[in-house]
Every structure is written in C-alpha cells, then in structure tokens.
Structure 1
Amino acid sequence: MSIHVVLVHPEIHWNTGNAGRTCLATGATLHLIEPLGFSLNEREVKRAGLDYWEHVDLHVWKDWETFEAELPTLGEPWFFSTKGTQTFWDAPLGETDGTVLVFGRETGGLPPALHTKYADRFVTMPMYSPAIRSLNLSTSVAIGVYEVLRRQRGLRATS
C-alpha cells in the first residue's frame, strides 16, 4: 500500500523540507507541483537543513495537469483543505492500494478549479479554536500520512 504526498505550489522551503522528512521516515513519495516558491538547487536545500534530501523519493511536476494525467496510476486522491466538508477521520483514507494526499500552498490553499472538480474528495482537519484559520502545512502532512499508516496497520491486522 503506497502513500503519495502532493504539495501543489508550495511556497516555503522549510515546510517542504519537513514534509520530505516525514515522507522519508514513512516510506511515502513526495510530489511537488510547480511553480515552487523557492529553488531546489543544492545551496538552498542545504540551507534548509535538508542533508537527507537525496534520500527522499521525490518527483517534481511542471504543472498540475501533467501530474493529474499520472494520478490514476498512483491511487485514490484526497484533498486537504480548511474548506473540506468532511473530516479526514470520516473519509476512507488508506483503504486502497494507493493513497494520494494533496495539499495546497501555504497562503492560499488549493486552486478553486480543484475544489470544483474534486469536491467530494475534500477533507478537513478539525480545529476547535475559532482563533486559528489553519494548521501549518508540514504539520498537516504529518498528521495525514500517519493517519493513513495507522489505518493500514489496522487493515493488515484484519486481513
């Protein structure tokens, strides 16, 4: 059962680095959809403290359309957004051979066209304080990936 993490137009290299660290720790594949708000050149990657970056299973895509053409081969997509109508707890994450967790950019989330096209695939994370708009991108990635791993562990135990 594979896990794919997709960051659509990420803006902050620290968040992408932390998402990469989570992917490496869990065996997930990281997909970055351009344009990126930073450069992946070696100097910037090292400055972000990503000395393990070479070990991350990383795929960089020139745009969403190119990635989307490949999406059916990767698995079932789930789009994380504060505008989701169901919590990720209530969605069947990780119950298929491949799970694709899609996250938007830090300052604007996912493009409106994706909200329209994949409306039934959008999930949200509960936030109980009205003083907060959203969770940090890399925190959200870690929560999503580990929830999928937790569920897959349960599926393997019952099969």
Structure 2
Amino acid sequence: MRIVLFEPEIPPNTGNIARLCAATKTPLHLIEPLGFKIDNKHLKRAGLDYWPHVDVTVHPDFDHFVNTVNPPRMVMASTKAATPHHRFEFHPDDAIVMGPETRGLPAEMMEQYPVGVRIPIWGEVRSLNLSTATGILLFEALRQTDLIVD
C-alpha cells in the first residue's frame, strides 16, 4: 500500500498525511510541482517531529512515479468516481492517488487509470479535506487487506 499526492498545494494537508503515513508505515509519494517548498515551516509543523519516520519520495512528475515505482494498480480518488470506498475492493499493493486540493485529479488521468474510488458525501459540500479523505481511504484499505497491526 502507498499514498500518492499528485501536485499537493497546501502544506498542512501534506504534513498531516505524512504523519498518517508515519503512523501506518505507509510509503508517501509526492508528485511535483508542489504548491510549497518541501522545507516549508507549515509542512514541518503539521508533520511534527515524525518526518524522519516517513518513507517519502518526491517525483518530478507522474510519469516518473509510474516508471520508477510501477505499482500493480493505481486507485484514483475522486468525487466523480462511481464506486464508494466501502464497496471497493482494495489490494495490499495499491497506490492510492489523491489529487490537488483545489481541482482534484485531471480527467485525462482518470481516463488513463480508470480504477476509481470516492467517499460518499450527502451533505452540502463538494469534497472532504485532503488529509481527512486520505485517512478514510487508507484505513479502509488497510482494514480490508488485513494490514492493520493491533
């Protein structure tokens, strides 16, 4: 299992996700361009002192990630995906790809990698916060694949 943040824009979200990845020993991949400098104080503050425990890789673009990591399956997270997360069958080697906070994943990526998942929303909001959504999807994936350690 791995988390992929495609062009993340908001430092505290990425810091929170890094902390989540440290807590679950899940590799984190950041796809440039980033909306902040990797040494941004807000990024470090959100990740607290957990950064040394995060298996993080920064890629210059999505193709570099695909070509170097070559994940067996990419799960594209989108409010437009048809399958809700609780009805989706995660695999232990999935790469869960999250889009930028203000625009989500590009339509071309969704077409090229058609395996998609969404978190149902029945309130009057367009989407959940990126770090919240990542936590929901990661823990569901870990639960389903028995990768949660008690």
Provide TM-score, normalisation by structure 1: 0.85
Q: Secondary structure at the match of 2:29?
A: strand
Q: Secondary structure at the match of 1:6?
A: strand
Which of residues 89, 92, 99 is equivalent to 1:92? Answer: 89
1:108 matched residue in structure 2: 103
- 1:65-115 Cα deviation digits (max 9, x unpaired): 11121343x332101000101112222113xx4121000000000112101
**For this pair of structures, how many residues does the alignment match?**
149
For structure 1, list consecutive stretches of 5 or more residues without a partner in the other structure.
155-159
Larger-Rg structure = 1
Shift of 1:45: 4.1
- For the residues of structure 1 that align with 2:45 and 2:119, how far apart are their CA atoms? 31
Closer, same or farther: CA 90–111 of 1 in aligned 2, 3 Å: same
2:142 matched residue in structure 1: 149
Which of residues 46, 49, 52 is equivalent to 1:51? Answer: 49
Q: Give the residue type in structure 2 aligned to 1:133.
A: R
Alignment of 1:122 onto 2:124: no
- For the residues of structure 1 that align with 2:106 and 2:74, how far apart are their CA atoms? 15
- 1:33-70 Cα deviation digits (max 9, x unpaired): 00000001265544445321122000000001111213
Q: Secondary structure at the match of 2:110?
A: helix
Alignment of 1:40 onto 2:34: no
- For the residues of structure 2 that align with 1:49 and 1:92, how far apart are their CA atoms? 29
- For the residues of structure 2 that align with 1:69 and 1:105, how far apart are their CA atoms? 21
Identity %: 41
1:157 matched residue in structure 2: none
For structure 2, list consecutive stretches of 5 or more residues without a partner in the other structure.
none
Q: Give the residue type in structure 1 aligned to 2:31.
A: I
- For the residues of structure 2 that align with 1:49 and 1:83, how far apart are their CA atoms? 29
Coordinate RMSD, CA, aligned? 2.1
